[in-house]
């Protein structure tokens, strides 16, 4: 009887060892997905844009939000240096501009840091700003909502109204 108990204890120890060994390993980071939405704070028309290869649609001058394209994947835990490659085309946003240059689409590309988030959000908001600047904000809120961490909703300057 004593021999069976010793063998049983040894067998249980051998079975439990891999479980104990695995518990010390770091868990794989959680991955989330987010819809993509654009906010165009410029006077140029954005024909199409991509974030890490995922298509984002188009955006009229001084407009955006409310329209979503699926999806990008991102880690549940933000880390310094987290970035995405944004590629987009622009042309004149003035419908009265009938010059040949107004119809030409210009490609742009930029690697942009994703702003710090404390908790995962359902949308990656892409803010196209003047001077070719872009802000990438992961949030469950949109521009103009209370507590939104990014720029307000784009407004057409009064000088252009």
**CATH code, domain carrying 126:** 2.60.40
- The predicted-structure confidence for 91-140, as pLDDT tens digits, reads as follows 887 778 888 887 888 999 999 999 999 999 999 999 999 999 999 999 99
How much of the chain, in percent, has pLDDT values that exceed 70?
A: 81
Q: pLDDT at position 20, please?
A: 45
> Taking Cα atoms as reference points, which of 143, 82, 67, 155 lies closest to residue 117?
82
pLDDT at 104: 84
Query: Is residue 82 a part of any domain in this protein?
Result: yes
Range of the domain at 123: 31-142
CA angle 50, 44, 35 (to 5 degrees): 30
**In this structure, is residue 26 part of a structural domain?**
no
Q: Domains in the chain: how many in total?
A: 1
**Residue 95 and residue 76 in contact, taking contact as beta carbons nearer than 8 Å:** no
- Point out which residues pair with 59 in neighbouring strands: 46
pLDDT 10s digits, 28-47: 569 999 999 999 999 999 99
Closest CA to 88 of 121, 122, 40: 40
How far apart, in whole angstroms, are the C-alpha atoms of residue 27 and residue 122?
A: 23
**In this predicted model, which residue has the larger pLDDT, 114 or 25?**
114
pLDDT of residue 11: 52
Separation CA 157–CA 141 (nearest Å): 24
Give this prediction's pTM.
Answer: 0.78
pLDDT for the residue 92: 84
Q: Does residue 91 lie within any of the structural domains? A: yes
Query: What residues have CB less than 8 Å from 37, skipping those under 6 apart?
Result: 56, 64, 65, 66, 67, 68, 69, 123, 124, 125, 126, 142
Query: Tell me, what's the pLDDT at 19?
Result: 47
Q: How confident is the model at residue 25 (pLDDT cuts 50, 70, 90)?
A: low
Is residue 121 a part of any domain in this protein?
Answer: yes
Residue 148 belongs to some domain of the structure: no
- Interatomic CA distance for residues 3 and 50, integer angstroms: 68
Q: Is 70 among the domain residues? A: yes
- pLDDT, one tens digit per residue, over 48-81 is 999 999 988 899 999 987 677 888 999 999 999 9
* Residue 63 counted as domain residue: yes
Residues 61 and 42: beta-carbon distance below 8 Å = yes
Compute φ and ψ for 101, nearest 5 degrees.
-65, -30
| 66 located within any domain | yes
**Residue 150 DSSP one-character state:** S
């Amino acid at each position: 009887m004593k021999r069976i108990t010793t063998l049983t204890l040894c067998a249980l120890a051998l079975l439990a060892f891999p479980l104990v060994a695995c518990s010390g390993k770091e868990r794989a980071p959680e991955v989330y997905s987010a819809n993509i939405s654009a906010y165009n704070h410029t006077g140029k028309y954005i024909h199409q844009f991509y974030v890490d290869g995922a298509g984002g649609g188009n955006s009229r001058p001084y407009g955006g939000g409310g329209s979503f394209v699926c999806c990008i994947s991102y880690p549940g835990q933000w880390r310094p240096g987290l970035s995405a490659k944004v590629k987009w085309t622009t042309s004149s946003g003035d419908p009265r501009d009938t010059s040949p240059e107004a119809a030409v689409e210009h490609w742009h590309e930029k690697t942009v840091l994703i702003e710090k988030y404390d908790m995962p959000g359902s949308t990656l908001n892409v803010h196209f700003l003047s001077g070719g600047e872009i802000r990438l904000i992961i949030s469950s809120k949109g521009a103009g909502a209370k507590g939104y961490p990014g720029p307000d909703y784009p407004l057409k300057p009064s000088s252009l109204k």
